[in-house]
Amino acid sequence: MKFVDEFREPGVIGKASAEIRRLADPARHYRFMEVCGGHTHAIYRFGLKDLLPSNIELVHGPGCPVCVLPMGRIDDGLSIAQDPNVIFTAFGDMMRVPGTHGSPLEHKARGMDVRIIYSPTDALKLAQKNPGRHVMFFAIGFETTAPSTALILMRAKELGLPNFSVFSNHVTIIPAIRAILDSPDMRIDAFIGPGHVSTVIGCRPYEWIAKNEGKPIVVSGFEPVDVLQSIVMLLQQLNAGEAKVENQYKRVVPWEGSRPALRAMADVFELRPYFEWRGMGFISQSALKIRDTYAQWDAEQRFQVPGVRVTDPKAAQCGEVLKGVLKPAQCKLFGTECTPERPVGALMVSSEGSCAAYFSYEHRKAAVLTSIGAPV
């Protein structure tokens, strides 16, 4: 239990925070991007920003699959389920994401057969139990989730299940990081790498970030101390003039990733030539399409979809926030027209979206401090 106790120990957090202050050059401004939405959530949840010196800025990355899904894809998925014979299934995270004519939950209220599932296996089971209906799984997620979708497609094929399909919106993290590094208005000094995506892909796919771009990256766990320790490791690299891939989350992430998961993904999916990311535009080879060998279970091949590109509301500045150019509260709609209850932009929908995380924790904290007359 020592390990756990160590993480609970506030003294360790204080030490990590002091070490960060010792290592950070006061003459320099550091911009570190946490790629994963889970880290964004943890950073706000624990108020980690308050433990850092003011010259270390944490920039929230694109690693929230709900947040980066363009509205046109939601419209396409919902259009398939206009057919009363179709059951639309998706994870709970998707249910409040607005499409042009409302979210999946709003469609459900209007009579569409929309069901929340917790595992892709549930969708498969639902199809087996309802042989007279068609069950479509609206799949989202990075490499953490894509192998599970791949496995159920393999099972559907083995079973020859005729009434099941997947609408794949799976995306891959590396091209998104590349797009951020290629963006002219983006200045990032180093990356806090995603934890659970890396259990699947391992650490090797990040090597180009260090070698070719000269940026340090540390794959990190989700505890406060994990994130702080990762920042210490990034500062040590920068101070030594190094750029390496390091694994802070060794207790969970193997350097080589998960071979069975990668095999399943390679068997079922191929890279799309390009895919639109909300707020970031089209990114080449950044998403997973179902291979032709599984065409019968690919909802996009099986059904006609409008395939219309829907632009986000102009006033919403999701793209700038997603790339870290703007802070959530600097968006014109933040907290007024766009709130977690009535999200306009995708970053306000998921608790891992930087706007929703900022709204829930920073906004509330400021309100509490104001109410007790404390300086904010």
Q: What are the residues binding other proteins (CB under 8 A)?
A: 1, 3-4, 7-8, 36-38, 41-42, 45-46, 63-66, 91-93, 116-122, 125-126, 140-142, 144-145, 147-148, 151, 194-197, 199-200, 221-224, 251-252, 254, 258-261, 264, 350, 352
Shortest distance in whole angstroms from residue 196 CB to other proteins: 4
Judged by CB, which is closer to other proteins: 6, or 242?
6
Shortest distance in whole angstroms from residue 241 CB to other proteins: 32
Question: Cα(121)–Cα(310) distance, rounded to whole angstroms?
Answer: 31
Exposure of 33 in the CB half-sphere (CA atoms within 13 A)? 25
Question: Cα(16)–Cα(248) distance, rounded to whole angstroms?
Answer: 14
How many beta carbons lie within 10 A of that of residue 59, not counting itself? 24
Shortest distance in whole angstroms from residue 165 CB to other proteins: 18
Q: At 163, list the tokens.
A: 């009434």
Shortest distance in whole angstroms from residue 135 CB to other proteins: 12
Judged by CB, which is closer to other proteins: 155, or 244?
155
Judged by CB, which is closer to other proteins: 237, or 248?
248
User: How deeply is 114 buried, as exposed, middle or buried, from its count of CB atoms within 10 A (0-12, 13-18, 19+)?
Assistant: buried
> Residue 90: phi, psi to the nearest 5?
-160, 165
Judged by CB, which is closer to other proteins: 99, or 221?
221
Shortest distance in whole angstroms from residue 257 CB to other proteins: 10
Question: Cα(293)–Cα(23) distance, rounded to whole angstroms?
Answer: 53
- Contact indicator for 77, 56 with CB cutoff of 8 Å: no
Shortest distance in whole angstroms from residue 55 CB to other proteins: 27
Q: At 32, list the tokens.
A: 């570190």
Strand partners, 121: none
Buried b / exposed e along 294-313 (16+ C-beta atoms within 10 A)? bebbbbbebbebeeeebebe
Shortest distance in whole angstroms from residue 231 CB to other proteins: 17
The alpha helices in the chain, defined as continuous H runs, are 2-8, 10-23, 37-45, 65-68, 71-80, 104-109, 120-129, 146-159, 173-182, 196-201, 207-211, 224-239, 259-268, 299-302, 318-322, 354-357, 364-371
Judged by CB, which is closer to other proteins: 154, or 186?
154
Shortest distance in whole angstroms from residue 268 CB to other proteins: 12
Question: Cα(124)–Cα(8) distance, rounded to whole angstroms?
Answer: 40
3-state secondary structure at position 307: coil
Judged by CB, which is closer to other proteins: 165, or 237?
165
Judged by CB, which is closer to other proteins: 237, or 258?
258
Shortest distance in whole angstroms from residue 144 CB to other proteins: 4
Judged by CB, which is closer to other proteins: 98, or 221?
221
Judged by CB, which is closer to other proteins: 64, or 318?
64
Quote the distance between the C-alpha of residue 243 and its chain's center: 25
Q: Is 127 left (phi over 0), alpha (psi -120 to 50) or beta?
A: alpha
Shortest distance in whole angstroms from residue 63 CB to other proteins: 7
Judged by CB, which is closer to other proteins: 308, or 368?
368
How far apart are the two ends of the chain, measured CA to CA in Å? 38
